[in-house]
Structure formats: C-alpha cells, structure tokens
Amino acid sequence: MKPCDCALTHTPRRVVLTGGPGAGKTAVLELIRLFFCTHVRTLPEAAGIVFGGGFPRGGRTEALQAAQRAIYSVQRALELAAEGDNSAVLLCDRGTVDGAAYWAGGGDLLSAVNTTLEIELARYDTVIHLRTPTSPAAYNHQNPLRHESIEEASAIDARIKERWEGHPRRFFVDATEDFLIKASHVLALLRDEVPKCCRHHVRTFLWDGHARIKP
C-alpha cells in the first residue's frame, strides 16, 4: 500500500470483494495493494487461514458444516481486529454471508451461528461481486487450496449471488477475455469508496463498459 499524507480521522467503510472460485479476487487484491494508500486495509481470506492452518476438509456433512462455522468466526474476528486503526476502507476478501453458499446438509449457516441474513448484510457498506469465468481457458487453477471444477465454481458463484440478494449496494463485474479490463472495473469501483482526501493516490481507471449495481 502507498504511504498517505492524509491526517484526517476516517469512519471506515466495510467493503466485500466476493465471487466464485477462479473469479480473480487474489490477483485484484494484489493490484489494490499496489495502487491504493494505507488507509485502504485489505483483510486476508478467512477460509485461507482456516484451511491453510490445517483445518480438515473432510467430505462428511458434519465436517463441512464445522469448517463453515470456523470460517464465519474467523471472518468476524478479522473485521473486529481491523477496527480502530483509522482505515477509510476495510476491504474484506469475502464476507460472513459467503459461507452460506458453501453450507452442506440441513439447516443453514446463519442460523447455526445465531445470526440472521439481515444482520449480516447490514455489516457491509458495499459488495463487489466478481463473476467466475465460464471458459475453461480463463479459469485459474493455480491456488493450491482450490479444488473445484469449473462447473462447481460456476454453481458456487450462482449461490453466492443468491445469498447476497437484498444488499442495497451490490456491484457485479463480469468476466472478460482480458483480465486487466475486469480488474480495472473493480479498482474503479473501489476508488469510489475511498474518501476524496485519499483518492489522489489512485489514477482514474479506464474501462470499456459499466459495472452493474443491483438494488
């Protein structure tokens, strides 16, 4: 992140970067760290912490549900730990609602952790949804924690879209043949979330279309 000469006190906006496997979140986050100032704080993905730390990824329903409860708890803790450092934007690599798209078996994640969809949606100011590519050539298999096929990734992306229904400020960024075009869409959207005192660090990003917001 770039140093920032802004000395103002910020009220942080919590922004979610979401999407199905292979949507390009990891690459976009690297660009965000390159172009944005220190007042945009990027949080690590809770699932990466949980599974990267050795949490079992068993196929049993009980194991799958236990993993999503753990991910939810880590996500909440990450967001809480990031508060109070004068960030203008807390950029979350997925949010607490995402786990509902990975829930297996009966019931649902939010009930299992004693919360509601309304409460969780209200935690976030903006949701930016990167759509998963439908072309096998564009689907990235380089993440060692990713095991989904392109068909599975597309189904997860659809469930994530459904779970975030009702959020008042949700943008979709479609997959593009040139990934840098897709990335520039995301960076332009995020720039609009940053206060004016910090925007001079970010150039205006050009793109060949418009992000779509769904009320």
Structural domain boundaries of the chain?
13-214
What's the CA gap between 198 and 176, in Å, rounded?
29
Confidence of residue 208 (pLDDT cuts 50, 70, 90): very low
The rounded mean pLDDT for the chain is 86
With b for 16 or more beta-carbon neighbours within 10 A and e for fewer, the 70-83 pattern comes to bbbebbbebbeebe
Interaxial angle between packed helices 179-193 and 25-35, expressed in degrees from 0 to 180 and rounded to the nearest 10: 50
pLDDT exceeds 70 at position 140: no
In three-state secondary structure terms, 90 is strand
- Identify the pLDDT of residue 34: 87
Q: What are the tokens at 14?
A: 């919590």
Of 1-10, 99-108, 121-130, 188-197, the least confident:
1-10
CB 186 within 8 A of CB 28: yes
Confidence of residue 120 (pLDDT cuts 50, 70, 90): very high
pTM, full prediction: 0.87
Task: Return the CATH superfamily for domain 13-214.
Answer: P-loop containing nucleotide triphosphate hydrolases (3.40.50.300)
pLDDT exceeds 60 at position 206: no
Note the pLDDT tens digit of each residue in 32-84: 998 898 899 999 999 999 999 999 887 899 999 999 999 999 999 999 999 88
CB 74 within 8 A of CB 34: no
- Identify the pLDDT of residue 135: 64
